[in-house]
Amino acid sequence: MTAQIPANPASVEDGAAQYVQSLVDHWDELIDWERRKAGEGGFFDALLSGTGARRVLDAAAGTGFHAVTLAEAGYDVTAADGSLAMIEQTARNAAARGVELPTVCADWTELRSHLDGRFDAIVCLGSSFPHLFDAAERATVLREFYEALEPGGVLVLDHRNFDAIRAHRYRSSGNFYYCGGVQVSVAHVDAERCRFRYEFDGEVTHHLEVYPVLADELAGLLRTAGFESVERYGDFRAEFDPHGADFIIQVARKS
Ligand code: SAM
């Protein structure tokens, strides 16, 4: 049996609107950039260089971890996010590391109207895509990503392992993506909503709600959007336990 979602109107906004300034201020504490980098082991750089990508869009930049590390690896990166507070933090983090990259505040549904030209690769990481609750909007956004890619381009989308979470087998090794030792737990999950609770230093508590997309469901949506092939990784490995991985990474290729 699952608990009911507590009544708390301030924390049940959808999408980017959930990223209030006080959560944005704590986001890098949740990540721990050095430990996240170690956990990924250069996965995205190897993947993108393998496709010959040069121009990369981080469509859910957050505080900029992937945009900045990919720019440092030599890619021509544009950072976008639907939250102004988040994208402003990306700009500050990039400047602090001596990285120059364009930052754009843009909702995924109207991405192309904010951007020039097409990209060789789009990344949407850190379990961002599950912020879309509406089925029609999920289809629209995947189509928007598809259209923003060059022929032969690649879309890299990830999500927490909701197959496991919906089976009430949530676990987090703390080794991937969110490595900062912040207490993350599932306050509620059903087929339509998953509510995560984040405890920072036992003092500040935030909640985020997402749509708990299943891995096969997302792969099907990617194919419907037009992608020719979809590969799947668990915690950056091609061979993985489908109920044991913390995060699922899906790589969709445009023909
Ligand atoms: N990629 C970053 C990371 O890994 O740390 C941030 C991940 S955070 C879970 C999700 C991000 O997606 C937030 O920065 C949020 O503002 C953004 N987002 C959610 N819905 C969005 C939408 N409809 N359009 C653009 N950005 C959105």
- Residue with CA closest to ligand 1 atom 2: 62
Over residues 214-235, the mean pLDDT reads: 98
Distance 107 CA to ligand 1 centre (A): 9
Count how many residues are written for the chain. 255
Residue 236 and residue 158 in contact, taking contact as beta carbons nearer than 8 Å: no
- Residue with CA closest to ligand 1 atom 14: 62
134 domain-assigned = yes
- Residue with CA closest to ligand 1 atom 13: 62
Domain count along the chain: 1
SS3 114: helix
234 domain-assigned = yes
7 domain-assigned = no
C-alpha closest to that of 69 among 88, 106, 50, 41:
41
What is the C-alpha separation between 102 and 173, in angstroms, rounded? 33
Residues at CB less than 6 angstroms from ligand 1: 15-16, 19, 31, 60, 62, 65, 81-83, 86, 107-108, 125-128, 131
Q: Which ligand 1 atom minimizes the distance to the CA of 87?
A: 14
Helix, strand, coil percentages for the chain (3-state, nearest 5)? 35, 25, 35
What is the C-alpha separation between 198 and 183, in angstroms, rounded? 6
Q: What are phi and psi of 208, to 5 degrees?
A: -130, 140
Specify the pairing of strand 194-200 against strand 183-189: antiparallel
State pTM to two decimals.
0.94
pLDDT at 11: 40
In degrees, to the nearest 5, what angle opens at C-alpha 179 toward C-alphas 175 and 183?
A: 110
Residues 6+ apart with CB under 8 A from 183: 197, 198, 199, 202
For 54-103, how does the pLDDT look when each residue is reduced to its tens digit (9 = 90+)?
999 999 999 999 999 999 999 999 999 999 999 999 999 999 999 999 99
Q: Which ligand 1 atom minimizes the distance to the CA of 106?
A: 25
Percent of the chain with pLDDT over 70: 94
Distance 209 CA to ligand 1 centre (A): 12
Over residues 113-141, the mean pLDDT reads: 97
- Interhelix angle 33-40/21-31, rounded to 10 degrees, is 50
Residues 6+ apart with CB under 8 A from 26: 182, 198, 200, 204, 206
Q: Which ligand 1 atom minimizes the distance to the CA of 16?
A: 16
Binning pLDDT at 50, 70 and 90, where does residue 50 land? very high
Q: Which two tokens stand for residue 223?
A: 């194919």
State yes or no: pLDDT of 6 exceeds 80. no
43 domain-assigned = yes
Residue 100, Cα to own-chain centre: how many angstroms?
A: 22
Percent of the chain with pLDDT over 90: 84
Whole-number CA gyration radius for the chain: 17
Distance 178 CA to ligand 1 centre (A): 14
99 domain-assigned = yes
25 domain-assigned = yes
Residue 204, Cα to own-chain centre: how many angstroms?
A: 23
- The CATH code of the domain that includes 45 is 3.40.50.150
pLDDT at 36: 95
State yes or no: pLDDT of 3 exceeds 70. no
Count of other CB atoms within 10 angstroms of residue 98: 8
Q: Which two tokens stand for residue 94?
A: 């990039």
- Residue with CA closest to ligand 1 atom 8: 128
- Residue with CA closest to ligand 1 atom 10: 128
98 domain-assigned = yes
Q: Which ligand 1 atom minimizes the distance to the CA of 14?
A: 20
93 domain-assigned = yes
For 154-193, how does the pLDDT look when each residue is reduced to its tens digit (9 = 90+)?
999 999 999 999 999 987 888 999 899 888 999 999 999 9
| Residue 131 domain boundaries | 12-254
Binning pLDDT at 50, 70 and 90, where does residue 13 land? low
